[in-house]
Structure 1
Amino acid sequence: MPAKSSSPNDVERRALGISKWSNLFMAAAGILTAWLSRSDAMLVDGLYSAVNFVSAIAAARIGARVGLPPTRSRPWGQDFDEVLYVTFRSLILIGVLVFAAIISCTKIWTFFSGGSVPELVFGPIAIYAVVIVAICLGLAYNFHRAYRLTGRRSEILRTEARAALIDGALSVGSGAALLSLPFLEETPLAPYVPIGDAVIVLVLILAIVWQPLSTFRKTLADLAGVSAPSGTHTKATRTARDLASEYGFHFHRAAVLQAGRMHFVAVYLDPERAVLAHEIDAYRDKLSARLEDRIGPTRVEVILTANDLLEKKAANNRTR
């Protein structure tokens, strides 16, 4: 079946399935190349791919649960699983980079303290770098394509696309730098060639660690219940207010949160007249449909109140 006629979950599942087996191959290739070449940089590359392999398995299961209706055990649905996945994935990647930094610093310390450092074997590195870069570019394209086909709403696909690019950049940078080390043999830097790969690893870590740190900070804000971005909040508030006017309700405010691709909107209303429950349900369902078109998948809750506590507190603060 063509990708365009498939559901978003099917598109996401296929992309993650391709990623899973590709990363398993790259992890095995990286660890084998590290053993043959005695390079810490290749070991880091292989471990990074191993993390991506495990992540693809978890991501496929989580992606299938996002958007499912609430249950007794999960009264707000399972949408926050996507944010939890991205958060812990970022932490694991940071942990891998810290582990790599420790290994590299240990090798540098051993070298300068007079210890023995194994000599690099460059042949396997060249073959590995070419193959892995081609695979990573293919994965990044596949994830970005799937991200577009699913409406640019899947935080999982966007995270995996970035991870594939980072993995490719890691392979390009480490491979090119390692293969350039033999050219330093006739320079004043020749004595330091044995620790060249350790230095390269540290440089690469400094260059890419900001990406998982940035992702971790963003998802941590989502888990902490920080309000959705101002643009999203403005669209949701305006839509809820306009619809409330159509129903003759007094609109207090809207609280908007975002968890991955899902939005949670709580609307505070005062009907200012006697209403039946089905009127409130109709307002909620119509608002959900409008927000689906304007900001993406949304869960809406309507709270009826005569006095909005947040507005009341703000008014009290202004009078002080």
Structure 2
Amino acid sequence: MFQTEKRALRLNIAADVLFAVSAFGFALTTRSEAILLDGIYSLVTLLFAVVTWHVADLVMQPDSDKYPFGYVVYEPLVNLFKGLLLVIVAVYALFSAVTTLLSGGTSVHTELAFFYALGATAGCIGMAVYFRRVARKTRSTLVETDAKNWVIDAVLSAAVAFAFGLSWLLTFSGHTQYLNYVDPLVVAFLSLVVLPVPARIIRDNWAQIVARAPADELVEQINALIAEAAPTDKWPQREVRVQQHGRLITAHIYFIINHGDVREFDALRARLDKTLRKEFPYLALDVSFVGDEHWAYRATGDELPNS
């Protein structure tokens, strides 16, 4: 899976270079700020694609004395900064669009801009589909974030294609007085559409960095898998704590028992590890057995019943 992830990240770098160069070239030719925004977006994703390439190697390195819990925190950290920079780009683009509208708009070669945006849309959709498939296969949040970026880029390009296609039609209808306002209006619209996506990336990855509880859906899925491996009729009392850092899922499970032996406990550990790892290949599992429920509740931060 790691080699699949690395191939996808290499392709991402190459595609970002191609899209950025094409966008800047067409932006100069057409004088379109909307296409320029598309190019800046591709440039930002290119810079982070290079960083992501190195981080993908880093997070797979084994633990060390300096990093006893590994390097997994760098994965959400990279995604967080990527989201922040994309927010800055979107806000700046919105400000620039409003300024251009107030100054009377700008003249654009709409026919050329339309064909560029049409080709870019098709390319971005293809990349988004590919990266979503790779993200599902590798469970890499780095690839997942790149997939979201390609979706955003596809939306940007599709909106540009629609707007300039409409502008091109206006030139045949004689309503040319509105043409100068199309480009800044598209930029403003795209900025507002894009903003929620990096905002969600920032929110989700910040939660992982500060070790906040993961999404309820993830916790429920893990609890269901634990119940499958350790049926509640035989192991009725358990406390579970779950954390997520990028692709790594950390699960601490505390069973409150009053009988059993070491071999039985080890067999349960092996069963839990096998069951959970089917869904979460990047897993850190810690299973403990305690006779005094005080230690289980204390370890998970919960209060003792009837306390």
* Both proteins in one fold, TM over 0.5: yes
Q: What's the counterpart of residue 289 of structure 1?
A: 274
Aligned residue in 2 for 1:136: 124
- CA change 1:244–1:272 in 2 (3 A) is farther
Q: Distance in 2 between matches of 1:238 and 1:176?
A: 46
Deviating more after overlay: 179-188 vs 252-261? 179-188
Counterpart mapping for 1:1-320 below 5 A: 8-111=1-104, 118-150=106-138, 153-184=139-170, 190-237=176-223, 252-269=238-255, 287-302=272-287, 306=292, 307=294, 308-309=297-298, 314-315=303-304
Once residues 311 and 176 of structure 1 are traced to their aligned partners in structure 2, the CA distance between those partners, rounded to angstroms, is: 53
Partner of 1:256: helix, strand, or coil? Answer: strand
Q: Shift of residue 208 of structure 1?
A: 2.7
In the aligned structure 2, how far is the partner of 1:198 from the partner of 1:138? 27
Check whether the contact 2:241–2:300 (CA below 8 A) recurs between aligned residues.
no
Unaligned stretches of 5+ residues in structure 2: none
CA separation in 2, counterparts of 1:183 and 1:241? 61
- Secondary structure at the aligned position of 2:303 is classed as helix
Query: What whole-Å deviation, never above 9, does each CA across 1:253-272 have from its counterpart, x for those lacking one?
Result: 12111222210112335666
What displacement does 1:163 show?
Answer: 1.5
Change (3 A) 1:30 1:282: same
SS of the residue 2:103 aligns to? helix
77-86 vs 189-198, greater mean Cα deviation: 189-198
**Displacement, 1:192?**
3.7
Counterparts of 2:301 and 2:147, CA distance in 1 = 45
- With over 3 angstroms needed to count, the CA separation of the structure-2 counterparts of 1:120 and 1:243, relative to structure 1, is closer
Matches of 1:175 and 1:294, distance apart in 2: 40
Compared CA separation, residues 294 and 10, structure 1 to 2 (3 A): closer
Q: Distance in 2 between matches of 1:168 and 1:99?
A: 20
Given that residues 125 and 150 in structure 2 are in contact (C-alpha distance below 8 angstroms), is that contact kept between their aligned partners in structure 1?
yes
1:309 partner letter: R
Aligned pair in 2 of structure 1 residues 238, 132: CA closer, same or farther (>3 Å)?
closer
Distance 1:207 1:45 in 2: 13
Distance in 2 of aligned mates of 1:103 and 1:311: 50
In 2, distance between residues paired with 1:9 and 1:43?
34
Q: Give the partner amino acid of 2:245.
A: A
Give the fraction of aligned pairs with identical amino acids, expressed as a percent: 23
Is the 1:16–1:60 Cα contact (8 Å) retained in structure 2?
A: yes
Residue identity opposite 2:123 in structure 1: I
The alpha carbon displacement at 1:133 in A equals 2.2
Equivalent-residue separation in structure 1 for 2:187 and 2:175 (angstroms): 17
**Partner secondary structure for residue 254 of structure 2:** strand
Question: Unpaired runs of 5+ in structure 1?
Answer: 1-7, 112-116
Question: What's the TM-score once normalised by structure 1's chain length?
Answer: 0.80
Q: Is the 8 A contact 1:42 1:174 kept in 2?
A: yes
In the alignment, the residues of structure 2 paired with residue 242 and residue 272 of structure 1 have an alpha-carbon distance, to the nearest angstrom, of 21
Q: 1:141 to 1:244 in 2, by over 3 A?
A: closer
The range that moved more, 65-74 or 163-172, is: 65-74
Q: Which moved more, 1:175-184 or 1:87-96?
A: 175-184
CA RMSD across the alignment: 3.3
8 Å CA contact 1:236–1:254 kept in 2: the answer is no
The more displaced of 296-305 and 260-269 is: 296-305
Q: Structure 1 residues 162 and 274, CA, compared in 2 at 3 Å: closer, same or farther?
A: closer
- Partners of 1:84 and 1:118 in 2: how far apart? 39
Could you tell me how far 1:287 is from its partner in structure 2?
3.5
TM-score, scaled relative to structure 2: 0.83
| Shift of residue 19, structure 1, vs aligned partner | 1.7
Matched letter for residue 149 of structure 2: A
Preserved CA contact (<8 Å) 1:232 1:295: no
| Per-residue deviation, residues 70-89 of structure 1 (Å, max 9, x unmatched) | 21122111222222222221
- SS of corresponding position for 1:70: coil
